[in-house]
C-alpha cells in the first residue's frame, strides 16, 4: 500500500505541476501579450505623430520653395525699363564714347547715317575707311556683347538670390 500511496502522491504532484505550469503560462503569455500590445500602440502613435510632423514640414518647405521659385521667375522674366539703345551710329557720331581703341573716326558717318566719301580715290583713304568700318562693326559687336553680359549677370544674380533663399529656408527649420 505504501507503493500505491507514493504513486498517487507522485501523480497528484505531477498533475499539480502540469496544471500550475499551464495556468501560469497562460497568465504569463497574456501579460506579455498585453505589454507587447501597449508598447506597439505607443510606437504606432509616435510614428504617426512623426509622419504628421514630417508631412507638415515638407508642406511648409514646398510652400516656401514655391514662393522662392515665383520670385525667381518674376525676376528673370521681369522687363526692366529699356536702357537707351546704343548703336554703332551712336558710337560713330560721338554721342556714346567707348575706349580709345574702339572709337570711330570723327565725321565718318554723316547725319543721314551714310559714310562720307572723299573725292580723291587714294589708297590711304580706303584704308582709313576700312579701319573706320571695322571700328564701327567692332563697336556694334561690343555693345551687343555688353548687353548679353548684362542679361546673363541679371539671370545669375537672380539664381544666386534664389539659392540663398533656399538655404535660409533650410536653416530656419
pLDDT tens digits, residue range 48-63?
999 999 999 889 888 8
CA dist 141 and 92 (Å) reads 13
Mean confidence (pLDDT) of the chain: 76
Count CA within 13 A, CB hemisphere, residue 32: 6
Cell numbers placing 100: 580709345
Return d(Cα 98, Cα 142) in angstroms, integer: 9
Contacts of 112 (CB under 8 A, 6+ apart): none
pLDDT band at 26 (very low <50, low <70, confident <90, very high): low
Instruction: Cell numbers for 168, please give them.
Output: 535660409
Inter-axis angle of helices 2-77 and 123-172, nearest 10: 150
Instruction: Give CA–CA dist 51/17, Å, rounded.
Output: 49
* Burial of 113 (C-beta count, 10 Å sphere; 0-12/13-18/19+): exposed
pLDDT score of 84 more than 70 = no
117-137 pLDDT tens trace? 444 455 556 677 777 778 777
pLDDT tens per residue across span 150-161: 888 888 888 888
pTM tops 0.85, yes or no: no
If one counts every other C-beta atom within 10 angstroms of the C-beta of residue 44, the result is 10
| Assigned C-alpha cell, 118 | 572723299
Amino acid at each position: 500500500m505504501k507503493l500505491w500511496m507514493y504513486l498517487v502522491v507522485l501523480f497528484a504532484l505531477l498533475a499539480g505541476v502540469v496544471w500550475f505550469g499551464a495556468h501560469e503560462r497562460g497568465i504569463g503569455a497574456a501579460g506579455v501579450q498585453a505589454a507587447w500590445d501597449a508598447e506597439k500602440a505607443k510606437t504606432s502613435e509616435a510614428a504617426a505623430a512623426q509622419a504628421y510632423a514630417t508631412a507638415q514640414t515638407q508642406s511648409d518647405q514646398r510652400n516656401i520653395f514655391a514662393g522662392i521659385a515665383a520670385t525667381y521667375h518674376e525676376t528673370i522674366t521681369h522687363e526692366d525699363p529699356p536702357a537707351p539703345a546704343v548703336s554703332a551710329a551712336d558710337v560713330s557720331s560721338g554721342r556714346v564714347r567707348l575706349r580709345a581703341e574702339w572709337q570711330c573716326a570723327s565725321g565718318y558717318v554723316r547725319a543721314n547715317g551714310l559714310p562720307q566719301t572723299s573725292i580723291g580715290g587714294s589708297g590711304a583713304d580706303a584704308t582709313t575707311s576700312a579701319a573706320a568700318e571695322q571700328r564701327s562693326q567692332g563697336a556694334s559687336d561690343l555693345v551687343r556683347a555688353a548687353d548679353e553680359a548684362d542679361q546673363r549677370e541679371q539671370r545669375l544674380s537672380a539664381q544666386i538670390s534664389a539659392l540663398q533663399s533656399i538655404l535660409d529656408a533650410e536653416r530656419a527649420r
